Amino acid sequence: MQARKNGLQIEYFLMLIASFFWAIGHPIGRILLQKVHPFQLGTITLSSGFIGLLIFLTISGRVKKLFKLPLRDIFISMGLGVLGFFLYQILTFSALDRIPASMNAVLVSSNVVFIAIFAAIILKERIKLAGVLGIVLAVIGVVLVTFNKGFNLGNSSGSISILGCSFSLLAALSAALYSVIGKKVLTQNDPLIITTFAIFSGAILLAILTASTVGFDEIAVAGWQTNTTMVSLGLTMIGVAYPLWFVCLKKFPASQISIYIYLTPVFAVVLSLAILKEKFSWLFWIGGALILLGIIITNTFSSRIISEKKS
């Protein structure tokens, strides 16, 4: 009993670390984008994250699974990388370049609600009244967060860039589609192996896009501190956080540790306020609370549906 109790404490601590690493990417990414282009930042973080995953797979003795995955699933995984990592990195960092990190974190977290909607449309999963309520609350929250200080189509000071908010929501859509479309291949194989292939695909595509558009000159002159921070961000957000998440998922149901998904935007807002001194109107806080409440209701409802189907 004591070992079980200690095990629970260790797993929950690991999830806190993963949530923190996912959250810190928002304020740190915002700072890095003052020196590099979103494409460049995405390329470095994905590439270093992929290397981090390879190191973990090698240490854990699972790297051989990369070569045992059926060719069909490899191609599907790399195709999923377009949605879950290539487009997601472009959209979320493009959003961070235009809107406050706190706002980006809150809007991107709405991907849980989009997952429920796409699951109903694509996978024909039922959404009952509780799920609809969660979705409605989240949508109202998104509107309040987006328009909490007025808006503009560009990037002028004093108001929020509607383009930046659109990028955040599109990033959430991209992440949701990755989860729903990849549900079958993710459940039939080792999720971390699938994720590794997806990240590899995203990194290659983003590197090609960066080379053919903005190039890498800004990275070369950014300085060792900026480059080290970018690599560290990729290693922690991807190379450490993803293995921790999947290790915890192996021992406990997703519904049991899903609270840490809710903590990520909360951590991101707190870190952004502390690091970047961001300020918002009261509408932002009400909207953020509604989004978080909507996510909790939607995710809890979805977890119950899954449990009912398994029983």
E strand residue ranges, the chain: 151-152, 160-161
pLDDT given at position 305 = 43
Identify the H or E element spanning 73.
helix 71-81
- Assigned domain for 15 exists: no
pLDDT given at position 3 = 41
pLDDT given at position 306 = 41
- Which of 49, 13, 22, 90 has its CA nearest to residue 268? 22
- Assigned domain for 24 exists: no
Through-space distance between the first and last CA atoms of the chain, rounded to whole angstroms = 26
- Assigned domain for 95 exists: yes
pLDDT given at position 131 = 79
Per DSSP, what are the bridge partners of residue 150?
A: 148
- Assigned domain for 189 exists: yes
CA angle 171-188-135, nearest 5°? Answer: 35
- Assigned domain for 127 exists: yes
Which residue is associated with the tokens 């993963």?
A: 18
- Assigned domain for 92 exists: yes
Residues 43 and 210: their CA atoms lie apart, in Å, by 8
Q: What is the mean pLDDT of the chain?
A: 86
Mean pLDDT by 10 residues, the chain (311 residues): 50 86 95 96 97 95 93 94 96 94 91 85 80 86 77 57 92 93 85 94 97 94 95 96 84 65 85 88 88 82 46 35
Percent of residues in the chain assigned helix, strand, coil, to nearest 5: 80, 0, 15
- Assigned domain for 52 exists: yes
Q: Indicate the number of domains in the chain.
A: 1
- Which of 48, 104, 89 has its CA nearest to residue 276? 104
Q: Cα dist. 220→45, 47, 216 in Å?
A: 15, 16, 7
pLDDT given at position 120 = 85
C-beta of residue 154 within 8 angstroms of C-beta of residue 112: no
Q: What region, left, alpha or beta, does residue 110 occupy, with left being phi > 0 and alpha being psi -120 to 50 degrees?
A: alpha
Residue 214 belongs to what domain range?
A: 34-310
- Assigned domain for 201 exists: yes
Kindly report the backbone phi and psi dihedral angles of residue 123, in degrees, each rounded to the nearest multiple of 5, phi listed first: -95, 0
Residues across the chain: 311
Q: Cα dist. 194→49, 76, 98, 178, 200 in Å?
A: 14, 9, 32, 11, 10
AA letter at 186: L
pTM: 0.85
Residues 68 and 57: their CA atoms lie apart, in Å, by 14
Residues 245 and 168: their CA atoms lie apart, in Å, by 23
pLDDT given at position 255 = 56
